[in-house]
Structures are given as structure tokens and as C-alpha cells.
Amino acid sequence: MQKSLNIPTTNKKTIFGTLDTPKGKSKWLIIFVHGLTGHQNEHIFFNGAKYFNSKWYSVYRFNLYGWEKNARQLEDTSLKEHIQDVETVVKYFKKEWNQKIFFVWHSLGAIAIIEAKIKNISWIILRDPAFNTKGSISNDLHHKNKTYILDRGIKYIIGEKMYHDLTYTRDHMKDIKDISFPIKIICAWYGDNIREKSKIYYQWANKPKAFSIIPKAFHCFDEEGTEEKLFAETYKRVKKYS
């Protein structure tokens, strides 16, 4: 079953999301969070919800910004607000659901979860995680005539706050050691920089922890067969700790 589930923020905005539940009693809850310029209906989240529903898990996926009237907008938001919204979502589900929660993050979401102040999460799974913003993202940024543009083939307008967040030089890899939750890191094979930096994430992470690489995959896991392998690697960890 699929239904809209929207959560108010502390500053009068709305987090727009979708709750997918299996037919029958679900085991636990998995929360999907997209990366920069992403959204809740990307195939790894939309199809991922179906996959985990078939395994009897509920899934919540939401947008960090969107087109809706009261949603945050990419050109106005910041990494700090991403972090706050993650904390809001966790607080909501810890109050409303008596379930274990697994967090599944993609790309820039890794930095947000590392910096967020959350408690009582069963596992965090980072998919091809960003390790800093200066090196991995800022090469795609342009500043012209007070307009901030993220150019990834498609051009996105971002705000001044996000521009500064994405050009701020800070390596977050060692910050992962402050997280007490178990962590699994799943990397795409292509993208030497992210893959090698993810190994450093893994080294600094506290036990229990796990690490895997999806062969033939690029950052968004669009290649034939890679989505299925991504889901299987995610499920392997979720199943063990359910």
C-alpha cells in the first residue's frame, strides 16, 4: 500500500514523502534519503520500496526539496536544513512507530547523516557516499551575476547558502567515528575517488560495520543488473539485524 505522508518542519515548511507498506504486518521501517538534485521517485528508491515491501518491510522516502507549494526549494535550502529535516523525520517516526529504523542514504546524504543529531537507529547504510563537498562537487559549480549554478549536464540553480556549503573545504571522513550506530557502506565500482575515500570512511567507522562494492556500477546504479545487486546488498544487512 502506498500513501502520502507529509511531515511539518520546525520553520513552517513541509517535508513531502511517501510511505510504502506491505500487505500485512511489516517487520521494520527503512527510510530512503536521496542525494543532491535527487528525489524520492528515483528508481533506486521507487523500485527499492517495492523490493523491500516484498520482504515485509515498510519504506518511507521523502524529498529534501520539491515543487509543492510549501516544500523547500533547491535554490533556497542548505545542507544545514537537510540535517534538520532528517532529524525531524526521525523524531516523527520514533514517536509514531514502535519499530526499528534503518536509514539508507545516497551520495551527499552521507554528510547530512554524519552531522545529524539522531538516536536509536538500527543501521545506517551509505550508498556511494560523498566525503567532502569541495573536491567532489564544487568543480560542477559556477557563480555568475549573483546566480549560483550546479552544472551536471542539466543546470540547476542553487542558493547562496547551498553554494557556500558545497564550496566549503572540509573532509567529513573522520567525523564518522562519532556515530555509534552500525554502518554499512556500499560503493559503485566506477568512480575511483569515491570508492577509495569510502574505504577510509570504513576504516574510521565503529564496529559493527560492513563494506561492499557493486561491480560495473556508476554513481546512480543505472547500469543493467546493478540496481538488483544494490538492493540485495542492502537487504543482506537489514535482514541480519531485523
Q: Please check the confidence at residue 136 and state whether its pLDDT lies above 60.
A: no
Give 133's pLDDT tier (boundaries 50, 70, 90). Answer: low
Task: Set out the domains of the chain in order of their start, with CATH numbers.
Answer: 2-131+173-240 (3.40.50.1820)
Question: What's the pLDDT tens digit per position in 34-73?
Answer: 999 999 999 999 999 999 999 999 999 999 999 999 999 9
Using alpha carbons only, how large is the chain's radius of gyration in Å?
17
Give the residue with greater pLDDT, 193 vs 207: 207
Mean pLDDT over 175-184 rounds to 86
Query: pLDDT tens across 86-108, in order?
Result: 999 999 998 877 678 899 989 98
Q: Specify the DSSP class assigned to residue 71.
A: S
With CA atoms as reference, report the closest residue to 120 among 15, 6, 212, 28. 28
Write down the pTM of the prediction.
Answer: 0.93
> Residues 130, 35: contact at Cβ < 8 Å?
yes
How many residues can be counted in the chain? Answer: 242
For residue 165, which of 70, 90, 64, 61 has the smallest C-alpha distance? 64
pLDDT value at position 66?
Answer: 94
Q: Classify 163 as helix, strand or coil.
A: helix
Neighbours of 66 (CB within 10 A): 18
